[in-house]
Structure 1
């Protein structure tokens, strides 16, 4: 829900930082890899109840995730980079919730429900995106056409930061965020029913005018940035 305005606000700063990394020869996949390792460290910190360290590592992971896309555009973004970036994001998103369940036993049921909601929302997202692209929809330049909803990347950053700030309320945070992710899954399923239920399934992009709530933009190089 908040990703678009946040991307607009942070975009110039991330572009400037990416330009600096490019000047010293840093590669996009290196940033993705380091970011994933930092995310793994954040999950370990959560599982061992080092909440302050976990918060710092989590925010560092998100910063690095925001940098690999602008850096990739400077080098010529690749499908491999976008694919690995998405896998890295999903593994840390899930691993963080598992770590909370390890650290806070009373939150385990809520964390399990949150993971189920992630599974449903992720399935709706990853299956709908290529079908919409097949029908001629274009996204915002990221490697996968992004199907938004109530809970996006920005909301995840905030929810996980709240886990670290008030771990004694981890169960409540997990229940609330699970409800948000479940609503996002329903939004994506509803969009799929709306969009895929219209016109023929085998029409090519040249036969379709993009419609509905998804924003379209002119063609431009694909980005590694996905979250």
Structure 2
């Protein structure tokens, strides 16, 4: 919901940081893999109940994820297929592992139930299926949505900005992480339904 509004605001700062990082040893794919590594480390830290360490690693992970695209554009990468594939795959791994890490940590420290986190994973699964299927079919049928990203993204109530914020929130407030997860699962489920309806209508 917020991505379209926030992306122009962050474009300038991200481009400026990418310019400083634009040195031969660092590549866009290495930035993507840095985001993956720090994201997995964040999940592990959450499982160990190192909440503030996990939060710091989560923010570093998402910063790296936001910088790989600007760096690729600076390098003049025209075919973003491989990089885009790696980026979305790493995103799914990081999001899913973070949910599991928080569930493990919150259950061990606060006795939190697992079912809200399982619902989040189910909602992520349906949501991801909807927009990935749409992107693939839209590409073949010439109905792509070009917003500068590698895939055709259908807008929804829950997008990247909201996901980053919610994951940060339950790391900062681990004692109520399962309650946050329950609400978040409902929000993502609504977003998934929006994408299924919008995608079906767009492809008719």
Q: Same fold (TM over 0.5)?
A: yes
CA contact (8 A) 2:145 2:153 kept: no
Map of 2:128 onto structure 1: 122
CA–CA distance in structure 2, aligned partners of residues 4 and 193 of structure 1? 22
Map of 1:162 onto structure 2: 169
CA–CA distance in structure 2, aligned partners of residues 193 and 146 of structure 1? 13
Segments of structure 2 that go 5 or more residues without pairing to the other structure are none
Describe how 1:186-205 pairs up with structure 2 within 5 A.
186-197=193-204
Map of 1:36 onto structure 2: 36
Describe how 1:36-185 pairs up with structure 2 within 5 A.
36-75=36-75, 76-77=77-78, 78-105=80-107, 106-133=112-139, 134-185=141-192
CA–CA distance in structure 1, aligned partners of residues 151 and 91 of structure 2? 13
CA contact (8 A) 1:107 1:174 kept: no
CA–CA distance in structure 1, aligned partners of residues 113 and 85 of structure 2? 31
Q: How many residues align?
A: 197
CA contact (8 A) 1:36 1:61 kept: yes
Provide, for residues 23-56 of structure 1, a one-character-per-residue CA deviation record: whole Å limited to 9, x for no partner. 4552111111111111111011101010011111
When normalised by structure 2's length, the TM-score is 0.92
CA contact (8 A) 1:100 1:107 kept: no
Provide, for residues 147-167 of structure 1, a one-character-per-residue CA deviation record: whole Å limited to 9, x for no partner. 120000100111011111111
Give the greater-gyration-radius structure (CA).
Answer: 1
Q: From the superposition, tell whether residues 136 and 193 of structure 1 become closer, same or farther in structure 2 (CA, over 3 Å).
A: closer
Higher helix proportion (structure 1 or 2): 2
When normalised by structure 1's length, the TM-score is 0.83
Q: CA deviation at 1:187?
A: 0.4
CA contact (8 A) 2:3 2:159 kept: yes
CA contact (8 A) 1:107 1:170 kept: no
Q: CA deviation at 1:101?
A: 1.4
Map of 1:204 onto structure 2: none
Segments of structure 1 that go 5 or more residues without pairing to the other structure are 198-227
CA contact (8 A) 2:154 2:199 kept: no
The higher-RCO structure (CA 8 Å, 6+ apart) is: 1
